[in-house]
Amino acid sequence: MIEKLLLKLRARDTISAEEERALEDAVSEVREIPDNKTIVSPGEELAVSTLLLDGFLARYKDLRDGQRQITELHVPGDFADLHSFTLKRLDHNVGTLTPCKIALVPHERLERITEAFPHLTRLLWFSTNLDAAIHREWEVSLGRRSAFARVAHLFCELYHRLSIVGLTDGLSYDFALTQTDVSECLGLTAVHVNRTLRELRESDLLEFRGRKVVISNLAALQAAAEFDADYLYLDSRPR
């Protein structure tokens, strides 16, 4: 059940059989959630964290005028709100963008891991630091990249993140979000995302239609985005 989490973590470090069992035992419950549902609201007291098994989740913040900014997308294998274990409540929403399957992990079981499994603890800590690295790269996109590079960058990131959990098929992947969802990741309007997707298509870099992304030319796409996968920490080493 937690294979995708294990794929994600094992891409970064080795995990012993005992640690694997500890992770499996940490799950208390599995749930299916329809799309566009809020799972966690800001300020709520939290006693469980959410592991995403299937579908796409977003962390997002709402603004007074009704706009929202998505601060990170989550793909299967991601611990969407592991950080709530130390934060106790969140500063943002967590919600589904597609129908999702999630596993719940009670904080008390995580606490037991921190008492008994220092290395696994560091690996979970690493996982939240990886989320922070993704936040930083998004800050660069939002602050400095053109709309064209921003869109290209997002699809490069998703390609690599989905790839390590086995959810790509060559250079394409299923991606059932709307253009509005994408615009809320990128600090753009949906109209402008639409225009930019057309440009990417016309440049033979990428096609995103019918809930599917097809990358036509990964090297050129990454160059256009100034994408460097280093921030995803894809090397396996002791942590």
Partner DNA sequence: CGTGCTCTTGACAGTAGTCAAGATGAGTGG
Partner DNA sequence: CCACTCATCTTGACTACTGTCAAGAGCACG
d(CA 85, CA 89): 8
Write out the two tokens for 192: 């402008």
Residue 163's Cβ-side half-sphere holds a number of Cα atoms within 13 Å equal to 14
Please name which of 164, 47, 51, 56 lies closest in space to residue 100, comparing C-alpha atoms.
56
d(CA 83, CA 71): 14
| Residue type, position 227, single letter | F
Backbone dihedral region of 233: left (phi > 0), alpha (psi from -120 to 50 degrees) or beta? left
CB under 8 A, 24+ apart: contacts of 61-65: 61/91, 61/92, 61/93, 62/93
Residue 190 engages DNA in binding (rule: CB under 7 A): yes
Write out the two tokens for 95: 């919600």
Spatial contact of 37 and 56, defined as CB atoms under 8 Å apart: no
Count of residues touching DNA (by CB under 7 A): 18
CB closer to a copy of itself, 144 vs 198: 144
- Taking CB within 5 to 8 Å according to partner kind, which of DNA, a copy of itself, none is near residue 146? DNA
CB closer to a copy of itself, 70 vs 167: 70
Q: Which positions from 70 through 129 interact with a copy of itself, judged by CB under 8 A?
A: 71-72, 83, 85-88, 91-92, 111, 114-115, 118, 121-123, 125-126, 128-129
Q: At residue 115, what are phi and psi to the nearest 5 degrees?
A: -80, -30
Here's the x/- map for DNA, 193-222, by CB under 7 A: it reads as -xx-xx----------xx------------
Which residue in the set 186, 197, 200, 206 belongs to the binding site for a copy of itself (CB under 8 A)? 186
Residue 142 engages a copy of itself in binding (rule: CB under 8 A): yes
Q: Which positions from 51 through 110 interact with DNA, judged by CB under 7 A?
A: none
- Taking CB within 5 to 8 Å according to partner kind, which of DNA, a copy of itself, none is near residue 54? none
Interface with DNA by CB under 7 A: which residues?
146-148, 178-180, 187-192, 194-195, 197-198, 209-210
Interface with a copy of itself by CB under 8 A: which residues?
42-43, 59, 61, 63-64, 67-69, 71-72, 83, 85-88, 91-92, 111, 114-115, 118, 121-123, 125-126, 128-133, 135-140, 142-144, 186-187, 226, 230-231, 233, 237, 239
